[in-house]
Structure 1
């Protein structure tokens, strides 16, 4: 009976701490904003920004110094593509840069004087493309369109020069291997389908990090991190029970928030949903635990609630890069890759994108899955040690 009584006592302590933490959140408008409002608003904000998936009719200005038939044909085909719109052809660079400065165009294409002469003398012709990075998607549209048109016209010119016995033989000699570019899990090549699934995971981690830091800063301003958690019904609970009870509170909140952010919101936006419920819940539990204990540990840097925004908001962009979503991990230096695996969003983004967009099952994401569990355990133990030291000091 003593064992059952001890277990019941410990479970009661966890529940008391959980309820107390939940009351602290409801008493703080800033915490309500980050824990309840932001996870339901941010997905719609990102969907509104990237809902068009791809950029069409990117404005381009052209300087044609060749004034030849083949240069005009090249410009016509670039303009006829769905991704680029030639807004003007100007005589010099100053006029072109003026249009860019007025934001009437975001790129300049320069065709040199010897363009046609180089082509007809069996030399490689060059086209200069200058773009601004005020919108990176415009750069993608310009480069892909200019490259595709150049390759197509190059094959046509080569075919006219080297006639074979038949039209099919000529086509084979010009392009012996047919190739086709296909994006397996993003066939439309859209930005929302590529970026948003990973960003949704980052939203969960960052709202937890900022919100928990605000709660921690508020508690430290009022006298201590542990009060009133350690003293429960006339007895003292351990630091580990206190942390687990607080984690239980955030798990309850984010089980609901994550269901909306990771399942309902992608369904509303038409994003791929290839995961099954069992894999989703098995992945969600270590992801939330790792994010919660990661936030507990780093919230100790926050002595005042106002500093939570100052310290942690700017980390969203570095965390996104370290996740390998916008830049492949294989191309990162080893120290940055190691740093990324100290952050739950790195394995979390990789695992969630794999299961939701690519149809991966749990055996396919075991490295990321075990990394999340390891992060949850390590951050829990480190935070327990730091909390205990802070309590001994006070």
Structure 2
């Protein structure tokens, strides 16, 4: 008997293929990334691949916080999805991408991210006192302000006061409103209320206050002449002359009603209240309008007249005198043409800014710093240049 055996050859197509799930990777947003309202569109991106099914034939589905949306991969496996996020969606989110191949194998990738409010700092307003208000050191000043934010609830805002950059403690704050009561020493102060929201964005508002002692009556030497513009050139003498005095005392002095004069016929009674804070300057000008006086910042005006109906600075030997209403001379200074130069102010060296030393010509010099917009050197209302 003959036996015949048939050996069958197995083709490649009959070899069992290993089924593997697709590869899925979300590239944007990244883990814990923070997105902002107003900075869209918010496009999520991913890459998918499979060992058998071409990328563009994979079934891909995005799910944002439980809401599904069909996607589509291109030939390179890139997938994009514009997330429908708006102001109402502020908060944490979970984004998932699922890919299914022709064998029914599937894989997912997820990422958590957050949507925060727009990049806007809180709006802060100091409601009391008004900017520029004046107080005395004895006054208890009530500061009040409020803050609002487009995203953070008022109760969650962090409010803080400061005065001249230093914390002002003791505030009572609730629902975006803050109140603090404080006394301040004499001087000019800047008060700031700041508010920080949950996005760590900070807004602020500031006001300036003038805290002055009850003005005292000046004694000789409490105010001294510290700078003179005798012969300006950018404008005429009649509108460009000015003098500066320095308050050497420890208290404010109101020189309203005092007389600015020379030893001859020139004299002018200063009008209104002119308070000179302690250790500060006052600038008296023939014309207080900086637009026409050479750009000089002024505190008060004197009538410029050389015939006895006002005060003028002679371009030669002359005196400048400040006297109380009762005639007591607070300061007296004589100068002549050797003291000054054209178109430049002369000032006493800050080291000699007192009644005993400002009479000495050796302690005076032309100024080099330019404060005025007209360009003539001088430091009206500011510390003088040194003379050494």
TM-score past 0.5 threshold: no
TM-score, scaled to structure 2: 0.22
Structure having the larger proportion of residues in helix = 1
Larger Rg: 2
Higher strand fraction (1 or 2): 2
Structure with more relative contact order (C-alpha pairs < 8 Å, separation 6 or more)? 1
